Structure 1
């Protein structure tokens, strides 16, 4: 299946959503802060990120800090991004995320002998 080329407006919208995701994933907060997501008792819960220990430059009152880590390691579609709207810090985050996709997901695809999928992954996670 071939997808059409995104419009400038679609790329702008996608890029602003990505920028918000990057801000959330790059944030740090003190230990003891409640878990992110949506939960309904005895029904279901939704989480897109894990809460993991962070290593901030300053450790206020020795409390420790937490940050977010993506649960899935699936490439973010760079053809949907207007790279002119990204800061260098956001570009760095995206490139690091894609490096992790290649390293972790790529290793599993290689282990399974899925060369076509691995080739796709490498192609879709090139640095911007």
Structure 2
């Protein structure tokens, strides 16, 4: 994530994350001379848990687009990563499918099927 004033990276910043701040999460990998891929999502900072240690925040996805599972090598993922991907794509399908034609729903179901 590289927008500010809040940032999540090794560079120290005096700006704390606060509810309502929009942040981009942009994991990616680039292989020089070969290829690269990046997933970009905008997220909203929301209150998540308050306990005896403090108040903790989470991110709510604002960018709703499927992550194709057709190119994922499941054997390279840990179970929590598989669960996250499947849960994310289920959320995307549930939010988008009511607004799509039958043909588009079929495409979305194929792109976001569980691995």
| Aligned structure 1 segments of 4 or more residues deviating by more than 6 angstroms | none
Question: By percentage of residues, which structure has more strand?
Answer: 2
**Superposed CA RMSD:** 2.3
1:61-80 aligned within 5 A: 61=53, 63-80=54-71
Instruction: Could you tell me which runs of 5 or more consecutive residues in structure 2 were left unpaired when the two chains were aligned.
Output: 1-7, 9-15, 25-40
User: Which stretches in structure 1 are left out of the alignment for 5+ residues?
Assistant: 1-23, 25-31, 38-46
Match of 1:116 among 97, 103, 108: 103
Q: For residue 100 of structure 1, what is the aligned residue in structure 2?
A: 91
Q: CA deviation at 1:87?
A: 0.7
More helix by share: 1
Question: How many residues align structurally?
Answer: 82
TM-score, structure 1 as length reference: 0.54
The structure with higher relative contact order (CA 8 Å, sep 6+) is 1
